[in-house]
Structure 1
Amino acid sequence: MAGEHLDEDLHKNLSAFLNSSPDCILVCDASSLQYLYVNQTTCDMTGYSRDELLSMTAPELTQQAPAAVRETYGRARQAGLVGYTDEPRLMVNKGRSRRGWWEAHFRYQELDGRGVIVIVSREVTRRVLAERAADRTKRIYAALSATNEAIIRSSSREELFQAVCDAAIDSGGMTTAAILMPRPGSDLMEMKAMAGYGREVLMETVISIKPDRPEGRGLNGTAFRTCKPAVSNDYFKDRRTGPWHQQMRSRTLLKAVASVPILLNGKAIGTLHLCSREKNAFDEEIVGLLVRMAENIAFALQSFEREQVRREAEDRAHYLATHCSLTGLPNRNLLTDLLDQAIASVNRTGHNPALMFVDLDNFKQINDTWGHDAGDRVLEQMAGRLRCVLREHDVLARLGGDEFVVLVQNIDRREHAQRVAEKLLAAAQDPVQVDGQPLVVTLSIGASLYPHHGENQRALMKAADLAMYQAKDNGRNTWALAGQDSHWNSE
């Protein structure tokens, strides 16, 4: 008798037990998909009355296609006594005032020959959001790692910027990533690199850094001015983003936006602009990671600047080591290298090089009479004149003092050398004007020709130097060929 009384009490209170459950409990006909039973928690959570729910089918309540519901129920039947747990699903109540993630467990039962599905569904919104936040953080860590790798591999600002944007999309899970910087001489920002969705829209978007313009009070302008991140986790409800709402309405993937300043020496030079398809995508931890990403970009830019300074210093040192500081012409070191190269390429090109030593007559007298500054002006002007009468591929060098050397890349006969020498002599015919004072300068030129006067640069330079002194002995303002041998005189 006591056991029968206990069974009667259990059956009597079963409904109360089910209604007190924090989970939604439903029983659905496996064939018609009509609900046969719902507990009070289901009514409370969905906003529907019991009568309304019992008049509804599962596709109507869950907003799923009937085929999808039947597929889920089929899996539950195959699972037997274990049942089947579906992936969490976002649900909205009747008045659309409440939404959350629910995870349902389905189990197939036979009741009086009738197949039914017993559904126990519980809210897992906190768990889903925590998992999504953890996943976002994991992706941003991956993007940060990819950015660091890009810093190592990139050789220019442009390459780095694009690699960072690609990492934010490919590894970080963002929908749009861009790096914006102020346009020179303007308050408007322009896109330096971009990856992801909406390139055309972003390129047409007006973004300013001035606070007195509506387009300057948005996230990018604010981040740039304040040197602090600016975040909107619900883009279309944020007043700061108002100027772009209409333009961005078609971008259904845009839910949340973050703009992080890129700081160089404490001053903003641009912003890292990121968009997400999820609201509330940018929590404090993720924003902190994005700040680190921007800091790494700045570090790479500083490294690029240091490398640029180093290269410029190296180039400058090389230039000073190979060029005359007064005239900018190649010096003896560079001339020697170029002459060696010309000799080495004779068999390949068939072009025989020639050297012409050019000395300014009576230059010491100009220095002594008018001073070294006047002498320097004379050297500069004569360098310009001589360069103008030579071919582009010929080389004019200055050895020092008043000595210039011309490397002519192709001389086949004496007449060719004579024409070049006469052009050089003619370049000095007109007086050189220094501070309004005409100074008469003439030239003495000595020429040596490969291979007749030497088969290496040392021999050719010595022969040309001796020929130049021969020209001076011949009365100056003239030229002489090394050796004046019979071969060249017969040409």
Structure 2
Amino acid sequence: MVQQKSNDIALKFFSHIVSDPEKALFLSQLGPERESHLSGVLSMMIEKLLGDEPLKKEEILSIGENHYRLGVSIEWVRESLFWVLSEYVRELDDSEESFRVSARILEHLTIQSQGMMRGQGKVLSLISRLDAILVHDADPLKSFVKVLSLLSEELAILGGWIGLPDESHRFRALAVSNGWMSDYLDGNEIRSDETPLGRGTMGKAFRTETIQVLEDTQSIEILSPWKDRLIRFSIHSTAAIPLKDDQGRVLVFSLYSGFPWFFRHPDHRILLEHLKIILDEMFARQKASRLLEEEQSRINRVYRLQQAFSRASDIVLMAREEMEIVDTTLDTIISSGFFDWAVLGVIGEDQTITYEKGMGEGVERFLNENLKIRIEEKTLAGQAVLTNKMQYLNEYPSGDIFPALKSLSLRLDIQSVGAVPVVRGGKPWGVLVVMSRLSGAFDPDTVELFVGVSRFLGHALDELAMRKDLEFEKERYEWAATHDALTGIHNRRLLKSFLENALDLQRKTGLLVAVGLLDLDDFKQVNDLYGHHAGDRLLLEVSRRLLQVLGTSNAIARFGGDEFVLIFQSIPDRAALSALLFQIQQEVFGPPVSVVDGETLEIRGSMGVCIARSSDKPDSLLKRADEALYRSKADKETRSSFFSLCDMDSL
């Protein structure tokens, strides 16, 4: 009986959701086989919800993780489960049975929400594990298979490869993830030019040097040359990440998924950007390492200087500030004993070179000249920048030099001077100048060494900037993972830990803890009448007012849509809680809000408030507050207050 009822509801559910264009499109992307499988799974899930056996938490958590992975929203899940509930109880006269099934569905929804949060946590963990692989592996191509293995294990990526166009513009594989990928590429032509075979994600990524994503690959016209192959290998979405190797060549890292819209998921988009940053940094690090090794191999005759830079390289690469890199470089030059002074000039926006930092005994006499030299003036430093080559004089005072520097060189007894440009981000950034009291200090090996030093300095400064950019991106992602993008307040991800901390504090201090679930009344009408931008302004203003009232001693999180969770903690007594709720009514719901074109709206809301018991856990406390919210919304036309208390609670 239950099985038949479950099958009937599942069939009606599919008929119901095709009326929604977005959901209908999602189902159509699955194909008949997957849709049939989904129908069977849904029928089994409904049967378990209607049955008597205890719900299996791990099984439901896995369902939530899979929904998160596919980009299914919690709102869609909630709407679907409530539709199933309404369909089941429609013909029931048994209120006890209705209540039983409602409770099981709410329990299922709560656990599935936890599964979605666990899925998001796994993405953060995946990024950390990818970082561990890519940071410790020296060769990007060798680490590629490890990366693909991890992506396949955690995100069900079918496969991937790295391709480089040959002279005929056809991509050739440099590394392939697995046998499945090799079979797909066998006899498959993908190009980098504008021909039909170059209009896919790889070709476009190569030409634009930006990440490219295509969803629903089997129905996109530009992918028609590969349609049969895409269908045969069950590929539904693809992404291509452009990279620059250590030789400056553009490579393309391509990924394939069997799920439609897979790469549309916000976390998967962030993951693609993160992979690009890390892999580009690896190639840049590989390039810096290769250049340094090449330069070091050429300067065996200046062994002491080479050894000095070898010892200093780790310090430079581990530096946290630019001046630390510059100071270490200059100090290494001086400590080698070959040169008496080393200074660094920085190119300003007005194309003048200003000497800002130097090392060597008495170098302040050089810096105190406050020299500002225009690049086009006749100086070694200017010529070095203009030609992008090292310039030197072994008999400096007798050379044709800038008069102000000639006078200075005579006072300091400078005999040999060399200037080498420092390039950052592909552009001239500064000039490194070394000086010696010995004439003839520069020979071909010394010149090549200092060219290598300047490149190493530029690459070290660039890598430091890249590391800082990566740290910034990581901090931004961590912030985004725990905060609501619209309002800037916390999202539901930290809600459980907030509640656990509040309950622990209650047990230690004896002070009251309460939870409020707040839902804005008629919020959908605001979006319908004035547009979503008006709804966004309303949410922003409500968040601002709540933060102002609650302060830092309490907590607030956006639960989703127009729902907020308020955590009142360290409340002395019920009278203080009552005063705080009255303040919310006066200051949050009192003044109208200007939304658009001078239009103002009165803010109305419903809230369920629950005072924590000593036995409460976060889930039980939220559940009771949700039940109080339901009563508050049901009585909103007749109630005297915007909030309802949990059963047995009073103020």
| Root mean square deviation, CA, Å | 3.1
Q: How far apart are residue 398 of structure 1 and its match?
A: 0.8
Residues 449/209 of structure 1: CA separation in 2 closer, same or farther (3 Å cut)? farther
Residues 181/477 of structure 1: CA separation in 2 closer, same or farther (3 Å cut)? farther
Q: What does residue 60 of structure 1 align with? A: none
Q: What does residue 447 of structure 1 align with? A: 609
Counterpart code for 1:299: H
In proportion to residue count, which structure has more strand?
1
Deviation sequence 1:320-345 (CA, Å, 0-9, x none): 32221222221100233333344456
Q: What does residue 362 of structure 1 align with? A: 522
Q: What does residue 315 of structure 1 align with? A: 475
Alignment partner for residue 365 of structure 2, among 192, 195, 201?
201
Equivalent-residue separation in structure 1 for 2:395 and 2:458 (angstroms): 28
Deviation sequence 1:163-206 (CA, Å, 0-9, x none): 212211223543222333234x4444445654323353344344
Alignment partner for residue 460 of structure 2, among 300, 317, 332?
300
Q: Is residue 2:324 matched to residue 1:159?
A: yes
Indicate if the aligned counterparts of 2:356 and 2:367 stay in contact, CA closer than 8 A.
Answer: no
Equivalent-residue separation in structure 2 for 1:455 and 1:467 (angstroms): 16
Indicate if the aligned counterparts of 2:345 and 2:353 stay in contact, CA closer than 8 A.
Answer: yes
* Match runs of 1:54-453 below 5 Å: 137-171=302-336, 173-183=338-348, 185-190=349-354, 193-208=357-372, 210-211=374-375, 216-247=377-408, 249-252=410-413, 254-344=414-504, 353-425=513-585, 426-435=587-596, 436-450=598-612, 452=613
Deviation sequence 1:31-88 (CA, Å, 0-9, x none): xxxxxxxxxxxxxxxxxxxxxxxxxxxxxxxxxxxxxxxxxxxxxxxxxxxxxxxxxx
Residues 186/458 of structure 1: CA separation in 2 closer, same or farther (3 Å cut)? farther
Counterpart code for 2:606: S
Equivalent-residue separation in structure 2 for 1:312 and 1:296 (angstroms): 24
Which structure has the larger Rg over C-alpha atoms? 1
Deviation sequence 1:432-482 (CA, Å, 0-9, x none): 1111211111232333344x2754322332233333334433627523443
Deviation sequence 1:274-296 (CA, Å, 0-9, x none): 22232221222101101111112
Residues 191/391 of structure 1: CA separation in 2 closer, same or farther (3 Å cut)? farther
Q: How far apart are residue 409 of structure 1 and its match?
A: 4.4
The alignment covers a number of residue pairs equal to: 348
- More divergent stretch after superposition (359-368 vs 336-345): 336-345
Residues 145/404 of structure 1: CA separation in 2 closer, same or farther (3 Å cut)? same
Equivalent-residue separation in structure 2 for 1:269 and 1:351 (angstroms): 60
Counterpart code for 1:366: V
SS of equivalent to 1:410: strand
Indicate if the aligned counterparts of 1:260 and 1:272 stay in contact, CA closer than 8 A.
Answer: yes
Deviation sequence 1:289-328 (CA, Å, 0-9, x none): 0111111222223333433343333333323322212222
Indicate if the aligned counterparts of 2:517 and 2:626 stay in contact, CA closer than 8 A.
Answer: yes
Q: What does residue 42 of structure 2 align with? A: none
Indicate if the aligned counterparts of 1:453 and 1:460 stay in contact, CA closer than 8 A.
Answer: no
- More divergent stretch after superposition (462-471 vs 426-435): 462-471
Deviation sequence 1:95-146 (CA, Å, 0-9, x none): xxxxxxxxxxxxxxxxxxxxxxxxxxxxxxxxxxxxxxx9982232123323
Indicate if the aligned counterparts of 2:354 and 2:372 stay in contact, CA closer than 8 A.
Answer: no
Residues 153/243 of structure 1: CA separation in 2 closer, same or farther (3 Å cut)? same
Residues 263/406 of structure 1: CA separation in 2 closer, same or farther (3 Å cut)? same
SS of equivalent to 1:378: helix
Equivalent-residue separation in structure 1 for 2:627 and 2:337 (angstroms): 74
In proportion to residue count, which structure has more helix?
2
Counterpart code for 1:170: S
Counterpart code for 2:365: V
Residues 174/344 of structure 1: CA separation in 2 closer, same or farther (3 Å cut)? farther
Q: State percent identity of aligned pairs.
A: 29
Residues 411/179 of structure 1: CA separation in 2 closer, same or farther (3 Å cut)? farther
Indicate if the aligned counterparts of 2:549 and 2:584 stay in contact, CA closer than 8 A.
Answer: yes
Indicate if the aligned counterparts of 2:425 and 2:462 stay in contact, CA closer than 8 A.
Answer: no
Residues 169/477 of structure 1: CA separation in 2 closer, same or farther (3 Å cut)? farther
Residues 334/232 of structure 1: CA separation in 2 closer, same or farther (3 Å cut)? farther
Equivalent-residue separation in structure 2 for 1:191 and 1:271 (angstroms): 9
- TM (norm. structure 2) is 0.48
Q: How far apart are residue 378 of structure 1 and its match?
A: 1.3
Indicate if the aligned counterparts of 1:180 and 1:271 stay in contact, CA closer than 8 A.
Answer: yes
- TM (norm. structure 1) is 0.62
Alignment partner for residue 459 of structure 1, among 591, 597, 620?
620
